Amino acid sequence: MQSVSDLDVALFDECHAIRGIGLAYLTIGMFWTRPDICLSLDKKNLASAKLLGVSLQPKNGSDYVQWLSEVQNHVKTTNWEF
């Protein structure tokens, strides 16, 4: 995956459908493996994004791609500094 637009949304949703795998856990793992591209959907990042004007609350892979794109358009730092 070279950018968030390369995310396999179907695979994302399939992983999210596994019992016990919430969006926060799934995206934290994605951040650990690709911090240059992904952000976790934890409470802190959702709150920080909301302060930037990104109010979308992702529920699936498509939402995550849109949310991440909006956040990255507002932030001028690297993902791990966010």
Chain centroid to CA 36? 12
User: How confident is the model over 12-71, as pLDDT tens digits?
Assistant: 999 999 999 999 999 999 999 999 899 999 999 999 999 999 999 999 999 999 999 999
Query: Is 39 part of any domain?
Result: yes
Query: Is 79 part of any domain?
Result: no
Query: Is 80 part of any domain?
Result: no
Query: Is 52 part of any domain?
Result: yes
pTM of the prediction? 0.87
Query: Is 54 part of any domain?
Result: yes
Residue 45 has a CB neighbour count (10 Å cut-off) of: 20
Chain centroid to CA 64? 5
pLDDT for residue 80: 62
Query: Is 40 part of any domain?
Result: yes
Domain containing residue 51:
4-74
pLDDT for residue 11: 94
75 pLDDT tier (thresholds 50, 70, 90): confident
Query: Is 15 part of any domain?
Result: yes
- pLDDT of 5 over the 90 cut: no
Query: Is 48 part of any domain?
Result: yes
Tally of domains within the chain? 1
First to last CA, the chain: 20
Give yes or no for a contact between 24 and 30, defined as CB atoms under 8 angstroms apart: no
How many Cα atoms sit within 13 Å of 62 on the Cβ side?
Answer: 1
